[in-house]
Amino acid sequence: MAGQDETTKGLAVGPVTVPADALTWRFSRSSGPGGQHVNTSDTRVSLSLDVASCRALGETRRARALERLRGRLVEGVLTVSAQTHRSQVRNRLEAREKLAAVLAEAIEPPPPERRRRKPSKNAKRRRVEAKRRRGEVKRARSRPPME
């Protein structure tokens, strides 16, 4: 089956490939659809990666991932689960996709810092003009003075 081959390969995460031996698979009984099949098959998949000791990420990406995922890590290990499908193979593929997505987001470099600049003279003029027009609108709403 094509899915079996996919789950034994390394995990491509952006420019990095995490080796297959760094991934830990666990299988358990799944809740949800399946009838009597659910009671006998271990279709729920948990996929774990020890981010803290994963050499494939490199020092910078590992530090970035540890910082950004600190709320999801248990002793440096990131775990994702999949149980939406009745087939273990499909759940394995989904778990791989989930782990790759979470890890890719965690290791991407931060956006360039915004350089602050003064507003242009035209922008200042437009702002003051808009304030003046708004003030006129509010003044026009008030009742004329009583004589």
Task: Report how far residue 103's alpha carbon sits from residue 96's, in angstroms, rounded to the nearest whole number.
Answer: 11
CB neighbours of 125 closer than 8 A, spacing ≥ 6?
Answer: none
What is the pLDDT, as a whole number, of residue 48? 92
Q: pLDDT tens digits for 104-137?
A: 999 899 899 999 999 999 999 999 999 999 999 9
Task: Report how far residue 4's alpha carbon sits from residue 92's, in angstroms, rounded to the nearest whole number.
Answer: 9
Q: Dihedral, CA atoms, 133, 137, 142, 146, nearest 10 degrees? A: 60
What is the pLDDT, as a whole number, of residue 34? 62
Mean pLDDT across the stretch 3-19? 75
